Structure 1
Amino acid sequence: MGQSNLFILMIAIPQIFSQAVKQNECVCNLQNSDPVFPENTLAKVQTAAAECIKDITSEKMTEVDRLLLGLRQRIKQLNENVVTLEKEDDKNLYGAISLRIIELELAEILTLLNTLNRTTSNYHHLSIETAAQLQDMTDMMVNLVKFDKMQVIKKEHENQQIKKDLEKCKNERKATLPPPTLSPGHCGLGQMVNVSGPKTYSLTKYGTSYPYGAWGRDVNPAPGDEKKYWLVVLSSSNVYGHYVRQYSTMSTLLLGLGPADTYISSSNPTTNTIQGPNMVMYGNALYYNCYNTMSVCRFNMTTRTVSNVALPKDAGYNSKFPFGLLGVPYSYTDMDFATDESNLYVIYATTGNFGNVVITKLETSTPPVLGQTWYTSLHKTTATNTFIVCGVLYATRYIDKETEQIFYSFDTKTNEEHYDLKIHIRKMQTNIEYLNYDPRDHLLYVYSDGYIVTYEVMFQ
């Protein structure tokens, strides 16, 4: 054998045989006795799963909740109108008007009920079909697991469980901690200790194509407007807006029923156009950053006239000192507007204050007037949003896709600053483009990637 030029390699593995075909060459033939993996079955499972994901979306899952909320709101409104009718019914003009309003309310309630019934019926059929599909996919996957000779799937399940345990541990570590000792506020509420919710979560009728906007209530409403809600969506390049949409109640806003549009200008962008998502409604007037200037604009909703006041000459505008996250700016957010229990504020940054946040009280005259000013050490581009509660400015920052953190406070009464707050906001979408506090209901009104959301502020 040592004199032979042919070397035959024998491999002691079952079903594998070696044979010499040429001098100094070896070929191995593999014969697999296992059945062929059913790729078609796996493809069917993947297709069925994709169809389920397509049929069951987050919008559909929240549709019934929105309809029920709207129905409750309308029934409450109807009850109030009936009580009003009983008090004022003099068999004459006012009684007839109130009765007509009640008739309209009943018609809208019937419409909501019909929509709810149709939606519920559709969901019932979808639930039956989905349950059958899930059972079929489960059976097919059980059969496919038999091909997992090396228990890869079993190990993957164990890894998934470990990941869930790690995520749970991470969430527990991120749980909201009590903030450091702050002044107890100056309006009898005590210090803010937590933010709960979301309490309301709904996609606007504009959809996710318009991720920048703002909404809320008039903090200082005119008599009769206490229940109104306003909405502004930046419909031009996610930068500009030229009209305000108002709804009579929360339910009509959630369902997109009966909006009333008030136009500031005829088009975008032009003089008096809204620039950027930060704005507030106060005393029947919308306050916002006026197009391409460092000026605060005040739009009177009744007279449809605009007046303005300029910020200091070194104030940032046109994305010089915008809010941002992880080095990515929120465009045209140089000015922010905030309301608390007694005042209206504009929040911005100046070169004189090294790009740090400046707070100025706005006097709500026509035109508006700049009032008392405070200077902070918070660099504006490190925050994503600000709001004010009881004279205390709070700033938020991006933590991850699920969490926004209130990390900073500045007390306008004492000038005390704190950077070590750890109050978390559980997000429903990745970004929060707009955030403001309403002292009437102690809620944070949020516009987040096309969704309108509310959170409840909790005090000690």
Structure 2
Amino acid sequence: MSQANIFILMAAIPLIFSQSARGKDCVCELQNSDPAFPENKLNNVEFTATQCTENITSEKMTEIDRLVLGLQHRIRQLLENVSMLEREDNGNLYAAVSLRIIELELTEIQDLLDKLNRTTNNYQQLSVKAATELQDMEETMSELENFDQTQVMVKQRENQRIKRDLNRCKEDLNSTSPSPTLISGHCGLGRMVNVSGPKTYSLTVYGTSYSFGAWGRDANPGPGDENKYWLVVLSSSNAYGHFIRQYNSLSTTILGIVPTDTYISSSNPTTNTIQGSNMVVYANALYYNCYNTYSVCQFNMTTRAVSTVALPSDTGYNNKFPFAHLGTTYSYTDMDFTTDESGVYVIYATTSNFGNVIITKVETSNPPVLGQTWTTSLHKKTATNTFMVCGVLYATRYLDKEIEEIFYSYDTKTNEERYDLKINIKKMQTNIKYMNYDPRDHLLYVYSDAYIVTYEIMFT
């Protein structure tokens, strides 16, 4: 069954929601109240149609024609032999032989007639059986169509009610929420206090085989690209990639339909292809760690041109300073690219800074150049991910299989460091391999063991 058909069937399942304003969240409780789509009937129709296709082939349909043509040929041959016998004047010397030949030809003709009769009978029975099966399939499909139409209408009415109730819930929530606290020199979002969600959660079309990757939206899109989403899966050794996939909407991203692939190189890995899962898209360019170097790569997705700028020569790469926790190391995550309201940053570590995190602003010119740099006391291998919001770096660590904790922050405006945030993220999979903040929708985009997830950041 095609993905589009699966999507239609999913849309036809009616769901009951109830909502309430608890604190600062609109909560929806999900309950399936109607019978599931009778998929077994659809499978039976598909099996019957396949059987009919196997039984009624073009080869079988021409078998009678071949038998009739063969019979016509043998009858003409018999007529010629009988005419020859009538013209013979040999004193009955060859008459007995000629009559025996004619007798054999008559036997062969009779065999062809018998085979033709048997084939005709078989085809008559096949025709009757096929007609019966076709009638059954038509009745079943009519039943399924009526079921689907009924459920879609129920779902549409239910969606209207849900939309109305959730809008009312949102109005109630907004009417009681305090105004954001403006911070001098910051974005006006206030202080981060919580991360809610997940808001979306879906396995990519690549399946569970590819556990490292990245996805999200262009943080500074051009006109017409505002709704596009991008996805990169490290398809070689869970470490390397050589193309970026784009979708026109969130729904097509989740369903994996109608993608556009843009290749950095025809081979993988090679010079200037992707190494590691920590990358971002900004102004139609992909920023990432160039393969086997301590350089920043900028890949223009329109011109397919690659520009690079080198980080300090003692920068860790090739698993020297990756993200990690006691249970595992996230391979080739020495460099982490992030976006916020002001642009692109690269997060890395150097030996001269004792493996501690360094933040460098990447000026998104062509070629890119390195801007202002900040040094921190956070050792890179004690964190599992980093992201930037309004000029503040946040770092996460692995608590257990269910919880990831935002424990650290560094404010690039005030140079203030904190290790006591204790903001929990509820995980859907064990390991979060990629995390980035989108300043356009204030969501965290996460790639977690082959699943793409979003979370909403809450501010005060």
Cα distance per residue 1:183-215 (max 9 Å; x no partner):
677000001000000000000000110000000
The aligned residue for residue 287 of structure 1 is: 287
Take 2:447 and 2:245, find their aligned partners in 1: how far apart are those partners? 15
The aligned residue for residue 427 of structure 2 is: 427
User: Residues 215 and 232 of structure 2 are in contact (CA less than 8 Å); yes or no, is this contact kept in structure 1?
Assistant: yes
Take 1:441 and 1:220, find their aligned partners in 2: how far apart are those partners? 12
The aligned residue for residue 113 of structure 1 is: 8
The aligned residue for residue 47 of structure 1 is: none
Q: Counterpart of 1:253 in 2: which secondary structure?
A: helix
The aligned residue for residue 75 of structure 1 is: none
- Which AA in structure 1 matches 2:357? V
The aligned residue for residue 321 of structure 1 is: 321
Q: Once structures 1 and 2 are overlaid, which stretch shifts more, 312-321 or 323-332? A: 323-332
- Unmatched 5+ stretches in structure 2: 14-35, 43-180
1:374 aligns with 2:374: yes
Larger radius of gyration: 2
User: Residues 264 and 299 of structure 2 are in contact (CA less than 8 Å); yes or no, is this contact kept in structure 1?
Assistant: yes
The aligned residue for residue 437 of structure 2 is: 437
Give how far 1:113 is off.
2.5
Q: Counterpart of 1:252 in 2: which secondary structure?
A: helix
Count of residue correspondences: 299
- Unmatched 5+ stretches in structure 1: 1-107, 126-180
Take 1:302 and 1:273, find their aligned partners in 2: how far apart are those partners? 16
- Which AA in structure 2 matches 1:232? V
Q: TM-score, with normalisation over the residues of structure 2?
A: 0.62
Take 1:225 and 1:338, find their aligned partners in 2: how far apart are those partners? 20
User: Residues 322 and 332 of structure 1 are in contact (CA less than 8 Å); yes or no, is this contact kept in structure 2?
Assistant: yes
The aligned residue for residue 82 of structure 2 is: none
The aligned residue for residue 233 of structure 2 is: 233
Cα distance per residue 1:149-185 (max 9 Å; x no partner):
xxxxxxxxxxxxxxxxxxxxxxxxxxxxxxxx99677
1:122 aligns with 2:122: no
User: Residues 182 and 189 of structure 2 are in contact (CA less than 8 Å); yes or no, is this contact kept in structure 1?
Assistant: no
Give how far 1:356 is off.
0.2
User: Residues 185 and 191 of structure 1 are in contact (CA less than 8 Å); yes or no, is this contact kept in structure 2?
Assistant: no
Q: TM-score, with normalisation over the residues of structure 1?
A: 0.62
The aligned residue for residue 172 of structure 1 is: none
- Which AA in structure 1 matches 2:432? I
- Which AA in structure 2 matches 1:265? S
CA separation of 1:184 and 1:329: change in aligned 2, threshold 3 A: farther
Q: Counterpart of 2:38 in 1: which secondary structure?
A: helix
The aligned residue for residue 173 of structure 2 is: none
Q: Counterpart of 2:251 in 1: which secondary structure?
A: helix
Take 2:371 and 2:401, find their aligned partners in 1: how far apart are those partners? 37
Q: Alignment RMSD, CA only?
A: 2.3
The aligned residue for residue 357 of structure 2 is: 357
CA separation of 1:237 and 1:124: change in aligned 2, threshold 3 A: same
- Which AA in structure 2 matches 1:350? T
- Which AA in structure 2 matches 1:387? F
User: Residues 182 and 190 of structure 2 are in contact (CA less than 8 Å); yes or no, is this contact kept in structure 1?
Assistant: no
Q: Counterpart of 1:254 in 2: which secondary structure?
A: helix
- Which AA in structure 1 matches 2:38? S
Q: Once structures 1 and 2 are overlaid, which stretch shifts more, 267-276 or 280-289? A: 267-276
Cα distance per residue 1:120-141 (max 9 Å; x no partner):
433999xxxxxxxxxxxxxxxx
Cα distance per residue 1:224-283 (max 9 Å; x no partner):
000000000000000000000000000001111100000001111111110000000000
Alignment of 1:12-411 (within 5 A): 112-113=7-8, 116-117=11-12, 120-122=37-39, 186-326=186-326, 328-411=328-411
Cα distance per residue 1:337-374 (max 9 Å; x no partner):
01111121000001111100000000001111000000
User: Residues 185 and 392 of structure 1 are in contact (CA less than 8 Å); yes or no, is this contact kept in structure 2?
Assistant: no
Give how far 1:115 is off.
6.2
Q: Percent identity?
A: 75
CA separation of 1:110 and 1:451: change in aligned 2, threshold 3 A: closer
User: Residues 337 and 345 of structure 1 are in contact (CA less than 8 Å); yes or no, is this contact kept in structure 2?
Assistant: yes
Take 1:208 and 1:189, find their aligned partners in 2: how far apart are those partners? 36
Take 1:285 and 1:183, find their aligned partners in 2: how far apart are those partners? 31
Give how far 1:112 is off.
4.0
